[in-house]
A and B are shown apart, each in its own frame.
Chain A
C-alpha cells in the first residue's frame, strides 16, 4: 500500500540535543512538507520541498533543519536552538502535477522534552 511513514511514533529530547524525525513516502510525490501541531492551534508549516535537492522555509523554520537528497525521504532535525520543541510533528506529501494541492499525511511523531 502506498503511503507516508513517520518514525519514531514517540521521541524524547534532552536539553541541548539535536533529534531527527524520519519521513518516507512511496507515493511518488514530488512535494513534501513538515507541519507542527500544538493543542488548540492550527497546523503550522515548518519547511517544504517541491523537488529533490531544494527546500524552502515555512512560517516557523527557526530551530529546525531539513534535507531532501532523495524523492522518497524528507527528514526533519529539531536542533537545540528550538527552545519549545514539544509538539506533534506531521509530515505530508502532495502530487504537484496539475492543480492538486491535496495533502497526504503520515501518522505523526510526538516529540517531548525530558
Chain B
C-alpha cells in the first residue's frame, strides 16, 4: 500500500526565516510526486511535479527537491502571503493512472 507522510504537521515562521517541509513516501514504482498549496476554504493549487530522484524545481520563494524516499519543499525568506497548507501527493505503479495518494499536509504560518 502506498503511503505518504508529511512533517511537521504545523510550522510557524517569522517573515524572512527560511525552512523546509518534508514529504516521505513509500510506494511501488513512483510515477510522479506532486506539491500543492491550499488556502483555507479553497481547493488545492498545483505547484510542482517531480519525476525522478535528483530533480529540482523552483517557483519564486519555493524550491522542491526529490530523493528516492522523500521530497523537500524549501521556502526561502517567506512572506505572510506564503501562509497556507502545503500538500504532497504521489502517483505510483501500484495504483491506477491518475489515482493519487495524498499526505495529510503541513500548515505553514508566516508571521510579519
Alpha-carbon distance between A41 and B100 when the two chains are bound, in angstroms: 15
Which stretch from B11-19, B39-47, B56-64, B66-74 is at the chain A interface? Answer: B39-47
Question: Residue B102 at the A interface, CB < 8 A?
Answer: yes
- Using a CB–CB cutoff of 8 Å, the interface residues on chain B facing chain A are 4, 9, 31-32, 34, 36, 41-46, 49, 87, 89, 91, 96-105
Choose from B34, B36, B42 the contact partner of A101 (Cβ within 8 Å). B34
- Say yes or no: is A74 at the interface (Cβ < 8 Å to chain B): no
Q: Are A103 and B100 in contact (CB under 8 A)?
A: yes
Once the chains bind, are A101 and B98 in contact (CB under 8 Å)? yes
B98 pairs with A94, CB closer than 8 A: yes
Q: Which of under 10, 10 to 19, 20 to 34, or 35 or more describes the interface residues of A?
A: 20 to 34
Are A107 and B43 interface neighbours, CB within 8 A?
yes
Interface residues of A (CB under 8 A from B): 4, 6, 31, 33, 35, 40-45, 48, 50, 56, 58, 90, 92, 94, 96, 99, 101-108, 110
A sample of 29 cross-chain residue pairs with beta-carbon separation below 8 angstroms, ordered by A number, consists of A4-B43, A31-B98, A41-B104, A42-B4, A42-B101, A42-B103, A42-B104, A42-B105, A43-B44, A43-B87, A45-B99, A45-B100, A50-B96, A50-B97, A50-B98, A90-B43, A92-B43, A94-B98, A96-B98, A101-B98, A102-B34, A103-B46, A103-B89, A103-B98, A103-B100, A105-B36, A106-B43, A108-B41, A108-B43
